[in-house]
Chain A
Amino acid sequence: MTAMVKAEGVHKSFGAVEVLKGIDLEVQSGEVFCLIGPSGSGKSTFLRCINHLEKINAGRLYVDGELVGYRQKGDKLYELKDSEVALKRRDIGMVFQRFNLFPHMTAVDNVIEAPVQVKGANRAQAKERAMQLLDRVGLADKAGNYPSQLSGGQQQRVAIARALAMDPKLMLFDEPTSALDPELVGDVLDVMRDLAESGMTMVVVTHEMGFAREVGDSLVFMDGGVVVESGNPRDVLTDPQHERTKAFLSKVL
């Protein structure tokens, strides 16, 4: 079985600041992979590298066995064209901290936008599927609402439905509950738990240690642009081996 995501010595710098200093990890197909760590540790940047929203400076990053952002011929790397990058992004869903729903479209229009515009799906069929997805995230009755008329938790669940509408093989979650009121976090986590049970491969950057412990299959603790500790979330969270991990967990747990 090939890994869904495979990183080999991934480096990323913004100008002179090196944010990722050689990340090696593997995300297996069907697993829920949690990335935790203090802010500025590079976990969100790494997530954004996976669908090429950020370009990596060194190392290799593979999704489903294919190089991200490049094509290798012999020992030469060729940058992919924008259209080729876009083609690969179709299979990778992403959920953002700040939802990023399209404010000029209703919830259901947000969900059908990509299938219709990118895949050329039939509008009526896309709408039917969108209604199923909105029902799955518990928002079938809000289909006609604009994002400004929805709570943060509802917006995030629409955003998850929007990503699922492209039938991705991999879902990336960038701190999906960090911008939410505490009482709304549960609804979003429930949807994610449901998604995990259906066998979706998920990479989740999160501060929700409870979610990581219950739902996560693997966990990585990052700090200062490197992987400090990794393993089964229940082991790492209850019995951290590294001093830095212990210090971090003592603050957040």
Chain B
Amino acid sequence: MTDKLDKSGAGAPPADQPPVAKDSAFSGPPEAIKAIPVRHYGRWVSAVVVLALLALLVQAFANGDIRWQAVSDKLFDSTVVAGAGRTLLISLLSMVLGVVLGVVLAVMRLSKNPVTSSVAWLYIWFFRGTPVYVQLLMWFNLALIFPVLNLGPIYKDEMTDVMTPFMCALLGLGLNEAAYMAEICRAGLLAVDEGQTEAAHALGMSHGKTLRRIVIPQAMRVIVPPTGNEFINMLKTSSLVYAVTYNELLRSTSVIGSQSYAVMEMLFVASIWYLVMTSVFSVFQYYLERYYARGSSRSLPPTVFQKIKMNLSAKGSPRGAV
């Protein structure tokens, strides 16, 4: 049957089109195209404009009244290093609190029980709907409305003794983060195909086992990368706990700044530390995302080192070959 089709299809054209022309087109390798490339004048103009603006900026900083000596002197000052350590500590602890509470809230939100799911909804609504700065100040001033913390027979103390700057910072940042983590976890759980749950149930697996063995491992791929992002954000957001007098990086540099009148210089110091911390964790984040991309994409993006290696080997090879 295919023979017939081929014959009838090929039989028509030769009458007005010599078959020789077709053959000659495929003899030998095709000639490489040598064309005049399009000139991108706009690119040159924009590059010059941007470079000129950059030069002005550099000039302004060079002529500005900046005591660079103060920056380098105070960069590794023990107070500053301790402040950076506290920033890291409060960010980590708040994140842990946020993740744990966030998972609980996500499960509550997805539960079939209308009471637990509405309570979770209300929590997320409040903590995402108000600024974290306001929440921090509320924890700080809690003693104004509840002078004594009374947990019945378990615990009783003056609120001002309980709500130390550390506790205010931890609760303010952690509880706020929990609302965001809850939404991230919920999205992750919902991203797992319903067929997975059905297949597990059809095999006789319980709800708990299905969640633990089948759904959560697949949800992690969706949950982990944004969680790393949240942590990097948390490193920066933690500067707001300045307001509750917790001695983190910004506060410890500002104290030095106001004493030595090197206000801007100390803000530079703080910025350098923030940049170092966020950069280090961004590298972690890159590898984390790469790890969790396994299975979903067949070829992984190259790591930084692989990219460098590829570029080097490409430059090393003779040009003619490329």
Contacts and interface: CB of A to CB of B under 8 A. Distances in A.
A197 B193 CA distance: 34
B217 A114 contact: no
Interface in B197-211: 198-207, 209
A96 B198 CA distance: 9
A102 B201 CA distance: 13
Contacts, number: 64
Contacts of B200: 102
A118 interface: yes
- Residue picked from A82, A104, A148, A159, most chain B C-beta under 10 Å: A104
A234 B93 CA distance: 70
Given A82-B206, A113-B203, A118-B204, A100 B198 contact: yes
Contacts of B209: 117-118
A53 B214 CA distance: 17
B297 to A, nearest CB: 10
Interface string B183-196: 00000000001011
A94 B206 CA distance: 16
B156 interface: no
A249 B196 CA distance: 34
Contacts of B204: 86-90, 114, 118, 166
A172 to B, nearest CB: 8
B205 A117 contact: yes
Interface residues of A, number: 29
B164 interface: no
A146 B295 contact: yes
B203 A118 contact: yes
A94 B217 contact: no
A56 interface: no
A103 interface: yes
A104 B207 CA distance: 18
Contacts of A87: 204
Contact of A100 (B196, B206, B207): B196
Contacts of B202: 51, 53, 89, 92-94, 163
A142 interface: no
Nearest to B209: A117
A114 B201 contact: no
Given A82-B206, A117-B209, A148-B295, A100 B201 contact: no
B309 interface: no
Interface majority SS on B: helix, strand, loop or mixed? helix
A118 B206 CA distance: 8
Given A98-B195, A114-B203, A114-B205, A148 B298 contact: yes
Interface in B206-257: 206-207, 209, 213-214, 217-218
A158 to B, nearest CB: 12
Nearest to A102: B214
Interface string A75-116: 000000011001111101110101011111000000001100
A162 interface: yes
Contacts of B218: 102-104
A148 B204 CA distance: 24
B295 A103 contact: yes
A83 B217 CA distance: 22
Interface string A160-183: 001100100000000000000000
Nearest to A90: B204
Interface string A124-139: 0000000000000000
Contacts of B206: 82-83, 86
A102 B199 contact: yes
Contacts of B298: 148
B189 to A, nearest CB: 15
A144 to B, nearest CB: 14
Contacts of A117: 205, 209, 213
Nearest to B204: A90
B198 A53 contact: yes
A51 B214 CA distance: 20
Contacts of B214: 102
Contacts of A163: 202-203
Contacts of B195: 96, 98, 100
A129 B217 CA distance: 25
Contacts of A113: 203, 213
Nearest to B198: A53
Given A102-B200, A114-B203, 8 more contacts: A86-B204, A86-B206, A92-B202, A101-B199, A117-B213, A148-B295, A159-B199, A163-B202
26 contacts: A53-B201, A82-B207, A83-B206, A86-B204, A86-B205, A88-B204, A89-B201, A89-B202, A90-B203, A92-B202, A94-B202, A96-B198, A96-B199, A100-B193, A100-B195, A100-B196, A102-B199, A102-B200, A102-B214, A102-B218, A103-B218, A104-B218, A113-B213, A118-B203, A118-B204, A148-B295
Interface of A: 51, 53, 82-83, 86-90, 92-94, 96, 98, 100-104, 113-114, 117-118, 146, 148, 159, 162-163, 166
Closest 4 CB pairs of A and B: A90-B204, A100-B199, A114-B203, A94-B202
